[in-house]
Amino acid sequence: MQLHNTSKKFQRYLALTALCAGMAAAMPSAHAANWLMLQGTEPADNAPRAKVWGFIQPMYSKDFSDAFAGKYVPPKLIGPSLDSQSSFNILRARIGVRGTGFPLDSHINYFLLTEFGNNAITNGGKYGSYKPYLTDASITLNYIKGARVRLGLFKYPGAEEGLQGIAAFPYIGYTSVTNQMLLERFPTNGETNIAPQTVPNADMNAFSAPVGAFRDVGAQVFDAFDVGNWEHTYAVMLGNGHGVQMSDNNSSKDLYLYWSSAYLFDKSAKGPFRPSLKMFTWYQKGKRTDAYDNTKEQDRKRYGVGVSYLKKPFRVSAEYMWGQGMIFQGQQNPQRMFNNNKAAGGYIEGGYFIPNTKFELDLRYDTYKRNKGIMKGPTPEAKFNTWTAGVNYHFNKKTRFTLDYSIRKYSSVFTPVNNQLKDVKGLLALQVTAVF
């Protein structure tokens, strides 16, 4: 019976893929770029055989939260080490190469990227476990009109914060809903929960595997097509559901669906800052094997909808997301990851590029409700509301300085948890981004 159901699901995937491909094949090809096209394809007519590229992001962070009973929890400490309240860091240092098989075959292109920075990918595990990591390794086959095929390790189609190129992200930190509900952690057997600790030399990260980094190993069918000034984009992907880790820890596959429709104010513009009004929606579903009892599996579902507008000097975007199963309970709580709890949250943010200057002013509000409706027990309902004010100074198109200050108001319905969350205060972060 299980095999029969799996076969029926796979047939539905194929039918959906064929439908999207058929729609795309009937439309003229798009020329302007979007996140899926920017990171998954190369222009067949003039792409180099090998283009080396990357970026570096040194930063400084200071957390102004207070301890409760002399001890701290992860929201009051600086990651990825989570051992103090202020730190200099090389958050990201990525280098990669991309290109096509030209002149042998320009229909095939590749994308390779490695991470040397100190973050939840390279040091997402227990304190002091840093090591460089391969984050992307994919090829795209551009033989079928309306149905490009991407294979390997790459960003799955999904929420805007995870899908977009991080070097173009106007803030230093993710929103709470993206960080907690979408940036997936993977517990392994033997990891145990950690109680609040004193600083310095706290060790609050109990996970030994890298975060998912909005990536997966799998196969994706996708493309974009124009209808007048509108650009429509679709993607259907099947993946292992194990993040940047190459292994597949269960027999189930994750399904990812994505659709966006963007009105292009200037069809000749390209790149991440092209003027447009974009609406998008996405869905993902999979299963996770319980690391502490591998006879059990837990469903994991996420979906969302959003809109973005960019036409200088203004930028506005908003997104709302829902999730059930595998709701993250904090870096100190790996044993509470396997749950069927519900969560939801979103953000609205905007930017203003001051005319005739190099300054960009940003403001973001994000909200997240974790473990919705659970009033007691080890995973009680908690709320995370944050205002972030930011300034970007663009030295040039490839180098900028970013200053963010976040005001955080966290709470929980359960007093012991609330005692720590109510003392979470402001967070200052400064960062330089240099793209090469």
pLDDT 10s digits, 121-136: 998 656 567 899 999 9
The reported pLDDT for the residue numbered 395 is 97
388 forms beta bridges with: 364, 406
Cis peptide before 48 (omega within 30 of 0): no
Distance of CA 352 to the CA centre of its chain: 24
Cis peptide before 103 (omega within 30 of 0): yes
The reported pLDDT for the residue numbered 155 is 97
Q: What is the pLDDT of residues 241-275, one digit of tens each?
A: 999 998 888 889 999 999 999 999 988 887 778 89
Mean pLDDT of the chain: 89
Would you state the structure tokens that stand for residue 392, as one six-digit string? 């970007």
Q: Classify strands 427-435 and 399-412 as parallel, antiparallel or unpaired.
A: antiparallel
Q: What is the pLDDT of residues 170-192, one digit of tens each?
A: 999 999 999 999 999 999 998 99
Segments of the chain scoring below 50 in pLDDT = 1-7, 10-11, 13-33
Q: Any alpha helices (H) in 208-321, and if so which ranges?
A: none
Distance between terminal CA atoms of the chain?
54
**Eight-class DSSP state of 420:** H
Residues 6 or more apart whose CB falls under 8 angstroms from that of 60 comprise: 86, 87, 88, 89, 429, 430, 431
Residue spans per domain, the chain = 29-435
Q: What class has domain 29-435?
A: mainly beta
CA separation for the pair 206, 330 (Å, rounded): 9
The reported pLDDT for the residue numbered 24 is 40
